[in-house]
Amino acid sequence: MDSVKELIQFMQPKQRLDLKAVALTHVLGLTGSSDGKAAILSLDDMLMAIFGLTFDENQTVAKDAVLTLINLTAEEEGALKIFALAKQIQPTFAIVDIASKQICDEQAGLADAWSMVLSNLTRCESLVPEILNQLEATLPQLAKAFAKLDYNKKNCKLHYLAPIFCNLTQVSRGRELCCHARYQLLEKLLPFASFEENVVRRGGTIGILKNVCFDSVYHDIILNEGDNILVAILQPLCGPEEFNDEDNDKLPIELQYLPETKTRETDPDLRKMLLECLLQLCATRRTREILRAKGVYEILREYHKWEAKLGRDSECLLACENVVDILIKKEDEIGLDNYKTIEVSAEQSEKFVQEDAAYVKSLLD
């Protein structure tokens, strides 16, 4: 512990470069273990030193400092501590502000690293409202940086902006800002639900979709004439199969005549999330009718065949069947307008969960 304390003096901005670098490297190494992390998190002075070094002229030192922050914020405890401390100290270390400025800076070499810090911080739901306040003004710029693939000229890919946005949508204000028609943020983010090249970007975007779908307030926006969101959900589930003319005409235009090279989402967890989105959208009668009209059943029919034969994930199959079951029924069979208003007792729900588990096992041979 004391040895760690001793390092603090070497991590001051005015120190010799080699001393700073070595001390920081050591600290970075410590963050690899949970003991090391705990030790560092307990030393406010150490944390302040790290904050300071993120501005160091020497790029390696600065980078190591930010990497250290990434590791320290990886878990909730560390993230909360760092965020609180950064606010408390004099002068304040405006960590959110700094991160977002770096991300928006086309010439920033550390943009990716800072985005990971921000991603870690936003994962803590309790911190999101405050972070959202600080980020609100720069959201359009962040969306632009995200949407433009070669935005950063120093080779930073900014993929972690996707989980950042996803985390922000954990709270309703975040969802509100994302879906706000004026800023059209969602429009910019949506295409990346099918971004094959990077799973972080893709997964983050799908996470956004899921958070938005779970809030029924947004179902109207989702199923407006625009089709954007529905297409973003369905596209990863579509394959190269051809539909007959009648079915084809129902589909949204982006999903018609997909080329024979079209592949489906490879990660089963992501597939499941998409299906859960669709399930959420089946809640009310109006939205169910829209889904049927857009050919969602036909798409899932083909998807189910593929999942059974090639995807082979039983939870996905179950998730798919849940949606199909609802879409197949006629409205008078369903009889009620909003699934979410039904009351299910605790023992009933436990029974359902067990039945599902047993069923899932039987799905694949």
Partner 1 sequence: MEELAASKNWTEEERLELAAKLDAELDAFIDGLEKKRYEEGWPEDRWQEEMDKHPFFMKRAPQPGDEVHPMFEGLQKLKYDPEENTREELALNYKEDGNFYMKHKKFRMAVYSFTEGIKSKCENQDVLAVLYNNRSAAHYFIKNYRSSLSDAQRALFYKPDYTKARWRAAQCAHELDKFDVCTQLCEELLEVDIDHKEAKALLHKNKMKKLEVERNQRKELAEARRRASRLQKLKDAVEQRSIKFDDQRLNKKLDITEELLRPKFLPLEDYPVHLDEADGSTLIWPAAFSYPEFLFSDFQQQLPETATMLDCLQTLFAEPLPCDKNQEYRVGNVNVYYENRKVGCVHKVDMTKTLRELMDEKSFFVSGGSLLFYIVPKDSRVEQEFIHQPRRPMVYS
The contact set with partner 1 (CB under 8 A) reads 140, 144, 182-184, 242, 253-254, 256-260
User: Closest separation between CB of residue 137 and partner 1, Å?
Assistant: 12
Q: Which two tokens stand for residue 143?
A: 């969306």
CB of 240 to partner 1, least distance (A): 10
Q: Which residues of 283-317 are buried (b: 16+ CB within 10 A; e: fewer)?
A: bbeebbebbbebbbbbbbbbbbebbbeebebbbbb
Nearer to partner 1, 227 or 265 (CB): 227
Query: Residue 129 or residue 140: which is nearer to partner 1 going by CB?
Result: 140
Specify the residue, 71 or 228, whose C-beta has the smaller distance to partner 1. Answer: 228
Q: Least Å distance between CB 77 and partner 1?
A: 39
* C-beta of residue 233 within 8 angstroms of C-beta of residue 189: no
Q: How many residues does the chain have?
A: 365
Nearer to partner 1, 97 or 242 (CB): 242
Q: By C-beta, is 77 or 187 nearer to partner 1? A: 187
Question: Shortest gap between Cβ of 229 and partner 1 (angstroms)?
Answer: 14
Q: Which two tokens stand for residue 139?
A: 């959201």
Q: How far apart are CA 339 and CA 288, in angstroms?
A: 11
Render the burial of 14-29: b for 16+ CB within 10 Å, e for the rest: ebeeeebbebbeebbe
* Phi, psi (rounded to 5 degrees) for 295: 85, 20
- Short-list 177, 201, 174, 176, CA closest to 190: 201
**Partners of 338 in the β-ladder:** 284
Q: How far apart are CA 25 and CA 241, in angstroms?
A: 53
* Residue number with CB closer to partner 1 (242 or 331): 242
Q: In the complex with partner 1, which residue's Cβ is closer, 15 or 256?
A: 256
Q: Which is nearer to partner 1, 248 or 314 (CB)?
A: 248
CB contact at 8 A, 112 and 160? yes
- Residues 6+ positions from 313 with CB-CB distance below 8 Å: 268, 271, 272, 307
Query: Min. distance of Cβ 220 from partner 1 in angstroms?
Result: 18
CB of 257 to partner 1, least distance (A): 4
Spatial contact of 213 and 222, defined as CB atoms under 8 Å apart: yes
Q: How far is the CB of 65 from partner 1 (least distance, A)?
A: 33
Q: Of the two residues 186 and 317, which places its CB atom closer to partner 1 in the complex?
A: 186
Taking the complex as a whole, the smallest distance from the CB of residue 53 to partner 1 amounts, in Å, to 35
In the complex, minimum distance from the CB of residue 57 to partner 1, in angstroms, rounded to a whole number: 32
Dihedral of CA atoms 132, 137, 138, 141 in degrees, nearest 10, equals: 130
